A and B are shown apart, each in its own frame.
Chain A
C-alpha cells in the first residue's frame, strides 16, 4: 500500500483521542487508529468516517517501517476477509490489490478503505476502554482483550495454525 499523503480521519469523537493522549496510553494517534481498525476488521464493521473533527497523522509517521508494515498487513487482511467487497471485485483483483503495492483500481483508495474500519473501533473504545485514569484504561484494555478472544474463539490453537500449517 503506497502512502503518498497524510492521513485525515473524520470523527465526532476527538475526545477519545485527546483523553487517551492525555492519560499517556495512546500518545500517538496512529496507534489508536490501528487499534480501532483492528477491532473493525475482526468484527467486519465498515462505515465511512464522518464527523466535524479531523484526526491527522503525518505521512512521515506512517512510513515508519513497523507502522507501514502494520498498515499493509491490516489492509491485506481486511480486503481479503471483509464480506461486502467481494461484490465489487473478483478474487484475483482483490489479491492484486492486497499484495501488489502499485496496483490500483479506479475509484478505490486503499488508505480510505482501511480507515472505514476505524469508526466502529472508536465507538467500542469509547464505550469499553476510555477512562481518564490511565490505570483504569489499562485494566479495560486488558479485559477487552480477554472478552474479544473469548467472543471470537481465538485461542492459542488458532495462532498455532497460522504459524505452522504445512504449505506447498
Chain B
C-alpha cells in the first residue's frame, strides 16, 4: 500500500476540504505543525479513515461547531484515500454523518466505498471494503505503520503505558505471521483446557464404569487447570508489579548512593574554596608588586625627560667651572701657605673662590655629580622597560587567576545545586525501605502461587491419567481417542515450527534493531530483545537510563528493525510496499540524530509521511526531497487548515501562522 492522495473533509478541527498529495518517488512527505496545531489529530485521520474508529477515542466532528449548531443539524465527515496496492490503483471513501439530538450527538450514517482499477484502468466496486482494507493493512498492525514514536518508545522500553507487553508481543507475532500458529494451537487446544477442539472431542467420549465416571475426572481436571491458569495470570501480574517495584527501588538506590557523591561533592567544594583563597592571596601578592615597581623604578621613567634636562645642566656647569691644570693638591697648598704661586698674598675673596673651586673638584666636582646622577638614572631606567613588561605580566597573571577563581565559583554553584537536590535523601531511604518490604511480601505471595501451581499441575496430570484410564477399553471411544492423539501430534508439530520461526525472527529482529541503533545513535548501547519483544538497552556500565532523544531513536530503530526484518522474509506484508506515517518525537533529537534517522529510515520504508514541528526538510537527503505541508491554526476558533508549505516565515513569525 502506497498512499497517493488524501482528502480530509470536516475531520475534527479541519473544517472544509483539505488535500494532501504524498510523495511516492522521493518517499518523504513532511507535514509541519507546532504543538497544539493538530498534528496528532491529522495523524489520527488515517486510522479513522481506514478502520472507522478514532484511535484516541475522541469525537471526529468539530465539537465547538457542533455546540453552536441547532438540534437536528447534521455534519458530514468525509475522508478519501487514493492508494496503490499490488500494482493497482484504489480509491477508498469513508463518510460518517452526525446529527445533533436533544442532548447528544448521534452517528446517523456511516458510508464506506472502495473501488479498484482493473488492468484497463477501469474502476470496479469491491464488496466488503472494510474487510479488504483490513486484509491489506491489518488493524492490529496499524500502530506500527501509523507510528506514535514517543508512545512506542515507552512501551518498548518497559514503561507503564496504556498498552501492555502482551499486546506488543501479539502485534509483533502478527507482523511475522506467527499469530497464525498461535491461533492454530489455541484452536486445537489441550485435553486439560476447555473450549478447544480436543476438549470438544473428549466430551463426545462415553463414560465407563469405575470408581468415578470419566466425566468426573474430566471436570476435576479442567477445573483445576482453569484454577492453575488463573493463578498463572495472577503470577504474571505479580511479576510485573515486582519488576516495577524493583525498578523503582534500583532508581532510589542509585539516588541514595549519591549520598557518597554528596560527601565527594562537599570535599570538592572545600578544595575549590581553599584553591580560591590561595589564588586570591596570589593575586594580592602579585598586584602589590605594582606599587613598588612604580615607586622604586618607574618614577624615574616618568621623569626621564627632566633627567635629560638635568644632565644637560650639569654638563654645562662642568664646562663653565672647569680650570685646566688645577687639582685639589695645588689649591690646598695655596690655601695652606696663604700665598699665590705668583708670590702675592691671597685676599679673603680669593680664598673664598678657591674654596668654592675646591668643592667643584673630585670627589665633589660637577663631573662626579654628573656620574653619580647618571649612574643612578641609568640603572633605574634600564630596569624601567622590564618594569613595564612586568606590569603587563601582572595583568595577564592576575586575569588568569581571576579566570580560575570564576571557573571554580561556577563549579561551586553547580555543586551547591547538586547538594540541595541530594538533601531529600532521607525520604528516599524511607521509600526504599517500604518498597523492599512490599517486594518481600510479593515474593512470598509468588512463592505460594508457584507452589499452588505446582500442586495443581500434579492434580491435573493425575486427573488426566485417571481420566484417560477411565476411557480405556471402550471401543466406542477408540476413534475419538485416535483423533485426539492426531490433534495432539499436529499441535506438537505446529508448536515445533512456531518455536523455530519465532526464534529465527527474534534473532533477526534483534540483530536488525542493533544494526539500526548502531547507525542512528551516536553513543554505543547494548541491546537485548526480550521474549515479550520489549527491549533492554544499556550502556557499557550496565546503566539502562536513556535520554528522551535516545528513547526516540530507539523507537525509530525498532520500527526500522521490524521493517528491515520483514524485507528479508518471504511472508505477507513483505513483498508489498507499506507507508510509514510518523507522528515523530523529533523535538528530543539534535540535528545530527535527525539526519541519521532520515538517512537510514528511507532505506527500508517505502514511503514516509512525517508530522514534525522541527524544520527537517534540509536534513533529508536530496534523493528523498520531501513534499511539504503545513498546518495553520486558529486556536480560539478551534480551526486548522493544512496547506502546501511554501517556505513562508512559518518558523519565524508566529502571526503568520494564525488564521485571522
A107 within 8 A of B: no
Given A27-B288, A138-B287, the answer on whether A38 and B303 have CB atoms closer than 8 Å is yes
Check if A141 sits within 8 Å of B317, measured CB to CB: no
The answer to whether B302 and A39 have CB atoms under 8 Å apart is yes
* In the complex, chain B residues 362-420 whose Cβ is within 8 Å of any chain A Cβ: 366-367, 369-371, 373-374, 376-378, 380-382, 384, 388, 391-392, 394-395, 398-399, 402
Cβ–Cβ contact B295 & A30, under 8 A: yes
Asked, given contacts A24-B287, A26-B291, whether A77 binds B367 with beta carbons under 8 Å apart, the answer is no
The answer, among B290, B311, B367, for a CB contact under 8 Å with A138, is B290
Report how far A42 CA is from B384 CA in the complex, Å.
16
Known: A78-B306, A95-B369. 17 other contacts (CB 8 A): A23-B287, A28-B295, A30-B295, A34-B296, A34-B299, A35-B291, A41-B302, A74-B303, A81-B310, A138-B287, A138-B398, A142-B388, A152-B305, A158-B305, A159-B304, A167-B371, A168-B367
14 contacts between A and B (CB under 8 A): A26-B290, A28-B291, A31-B296, A37-B299, A38-B298, A74-B303, A76-B310, A134-B287, A141-B290, A141-B294, A162-B377, A162-B381, A163-B382, A167-B315
Partner pick for B392 among A41, A81, A135, A142, CB 8 A cutoff: A142
Q: Which residues of B contact A142 (CB under 8 A)?
A: 388, 391-392, 395
- How close is B355's CB to chain A, nearest CB, in angstroms? 13
Q: Is B569's CB within 8 Å of the partner chain A?
A: no
Question: In the complex, which of the residues A24, A148, A153 contacts B302, with contact meaning CB atoms closer than 8 Å?
Answer: A148
User: Bound complex: CA of A161 vs CA of B304, how far in Å?
Assistant: 10
With A70-B296, A145-B388, A167-B315 as contacts: A154 and B288 at CB distance below 8 Å: no
Instruction: Show the binding face of A for B, using Cβ within 8 Å.
Output: 20, 23-28, 30-32, 34-35, 37-39, 41-42, 66-67, 69-70, 73-74, 76-78, 80-81, 91, 95, 99, 134-135, 138-139, 141-142, 145, 148, 152-154, 158-159, 161-163, 165, 167-168
B451 contacts partner chain A, Cβ-Cβ < 8 Å: no
Contact with A along B538-567 (1 / 0, CB 8 A): 000000000000000000000000000000
Query: Which of the listed residues B294, B298, B366 has the most CB atoms from chain A within 10 Å of its own CB?
Result: B294
Within 8 A of A (CB), among B455-487: none
Distance between A64 CB and nearest chain B CB, rounded to angstroms: 9
CB distance from A134 to the nearest CB of B (A): 5
CB pair B370 A167 closer than 8 Å: yes
Other-chain contact of B306, A81, A145, A168 (Cβ < 8 Å): A81
A28 and B305 form a contact (CB under 8 A) = no
A76 to B373, CA, bound (A): 9
- Check: B313 CB closer than 8 A to any chain A CB: yes
How large, as a class, is the contact surface on chain B?
A: 35 or more
Interface: B504 (CB within 8 A): no
Interface residues of B (CB under 8 A from A): 283-284, 287-288, 290-292, 294-296, 298-311, 313-315, 317-319, 322, 366-367, 369-371, 373-374, 376-378, 380-382, 384, 388, 391-392, 394-395, 398-399, 402
- Complex A-B, nearest 8 residue pairs according to Cβ-Cβ distance, in ascending order: A31-B295, A31-B291, A26-B291, A38-B302, A38-B299, A81-B306, A34-B295, A24-B287
Residues of A within 8 A of B367 (CB): 167-168
The interface residues of chain B lying within 8 Å CB-to-CB of A141 are: 290, 294, 391
Contact A42 to B395, CB < 8 A, known contacts A162-B377, A165-B311: no
Shortest Cβ distance from residue A129 to the other chain B in the assembled complex, whole angstroms: 10
By beta carbon, the residue of chain B nearest A145 is B388
Listed residue (B298, B366, B399) with the most chain A CB atoms within 10 angstroms of its CB: B298
Q: How far is the CA of A78 from the CA of B373 in the complex (A)?
A: 13
> Is the beta-carbon distance between B294 and A135 smaller than 8 angstroms?
no
Q: How many A-B residue pairs have CB under 8 A?
A: 151
Partner of B311 from the list A37, A41, A69, A162 (CB cut-off 8 Å) is A162
The reply to whether B294 and A35 form a contact with Cβ atoms under 8 Å apart is yes
CA gap between A70 and B313 in the complex, in Å: 20
Q: In the complex, which residues of chain B have a beta carbon less than 8 angstroms from the beta carbon of A139?
A: 395
Dominant SS at the B interface?
Answer: helix
User: Which chain B residue lies CB-closest to A69?
Assistant: B376
Instruction: Determine if B308 and A162 form an interchain contact, defined as CB atoms under 8 angstroms apart.
Output: yes
Contacting pair A42 B302 (CB below 8 A): yes
Chain B: minimal CB distance from A78 (Å): 7
Question: Separation in Å of the B171 CB from the closest CB of chain A?
Answer: 66
Q: Could you say which residues of chain B place their CB within 8 Å of the CB of A24?
A: 283-284, 287-288
Tell me, rounded to whole Å, the shortest Cβ–Cβ distance linking B173 to chain A: 71
- The smallest beta-carbon distance between A103 and chain B, in angstroms, is 10
| Contact partner, A41, options B306, B313, B374, B391, Cβ 8 Å | B306
The answer to whether B292 and A28 touch across the interface, beta carbons within 8 angstroms, is yes
How far does the Cβ of A50 sit from chain B's closest Cβ, in whole Å? 23
Which residues of A lie under 8 Å from residue B301 when comparing CB positions? 145, 154, 159
In the bound complex, residues from chain A placing their C-beta under 8 Å from that of B381 are 159, 162-163
Best-buried of B290, B313, B380 by chain A (most CB within 10 Å): B290
* Residue among B296, B303, B314, B370 with max Cβ neighbours from chain A (10 Å): B303
Q: Which of A27, A32, A139, A161 has the largest number of chain B CB atoms within 10 A? A: A27
Question: Across the interface, which residues of A come within 8 angstroms of B305, CB to CB?
Answer: 42, 152-154, 158
- Which residue of chain A has the shortest Cβ distance to B284 in the bound complex? A24
Q: Which listed residue, A67, A91, A159, touches B295 by the CB 8 Å rule?
A: A67
Do A80 and B309 touch (CB < 8 A)? Answer: yes
Q: How many whole Å from A42's CB to the nearest CB in chain B?
A: 5
Inter-subunit contact A162/B378 (CB<8 Å): yes
User: Shortest CB–CB separation between residue A5 and chain B, in angstroms?
Assistant: 20
Q: In the assembly, what is the distance between CA of A138 and CA of B399, in Å? A: 11
Residues of chain B within 8 A of A30, CB atoms compared: 295
- Which partner residue on chain B sits nearest A41 by CB separation? B303
A31 in complex: contacting residue of B292, B380, B391, CB < 8 Å: B292
Query: In the complex, which residues of chain A have a beta carbon less than 8 angstroms from the beta carbon of B313?
Result: 80, 91
- A27 to B319: give the CA distance in the assembly, Å: 45
Closest Cβ–Cβ distance, residue A37 to chain B (whole Å): 7
Q: Are A134 and B283 in contact (CB under 8 A)?
A: yes
Across the interface, A66 reaches (CB within 8 A) one of B296, B303, B304, B378, namely: B296
Complex alpha-carbon distance, A14 and B212, angstroms: 118
Contacts of A163 in B (CB 8 A): 374, 377-378, 381-382
Contact check, A35 vs B382: say whether CB atoms are below 8 A apart: no
Q: Are A161 and B308 in contact (CB under 8 A)?
A: yes
Tell me which of A39, A95, A158, A167 contacts B304 (CB under 8 A): A158
Compute how far the CA of A147 lies from the CA of B80 in the bound complex, rounded to whole angstroms: 82
Residues of chain A lying within 8 A (CB to CB) of residue B287:
23-25, 134, 138
State in angstroms the CA–CA spacing of A25 and B286 once bound together.
9
Closest to A165 in B: B311
- Quote the shortest CB–CB distance from B359 to chain A (angstroms): 9
B residues in contact with A162, CB < 8 Å: 304, 307-308, 311, 374, 377-378, 381
Bound-complex Cα distance A125 to B8 (A):
79
Instruction: State in angstroms the CA–CA spacing of A80 and B398 once bound together.
Output: 39
Q: A134-B283, A159-B381, A167-B370 are in contact. Are A70 and B307 (CB under 8 A)?
A: no
Cα A143 to Cα B477 in complex, Å, equals 115
Chain A nearest CB: distance from B463 CB in Å?
93
With contact pairs A73-B377, A80-B310, A162-B378 given, residues A32 and B291 touching in the complex (Cβ less than 8 Å)? yes
**A154 CB to nearest chain B CB (Å):** 5
Question: Across the interface, do A35 and B299 meet the contact criterion of CB distance under 8 Å?
Answer: yes
For A26, list chain B residues within 8 Å (CB): 290-291, 294
B402 touches A135 (CB 8 A): yes
Residues in B whose Cβ lies below 8 Å from that of A35: 291, 294-295, 298-299, 302
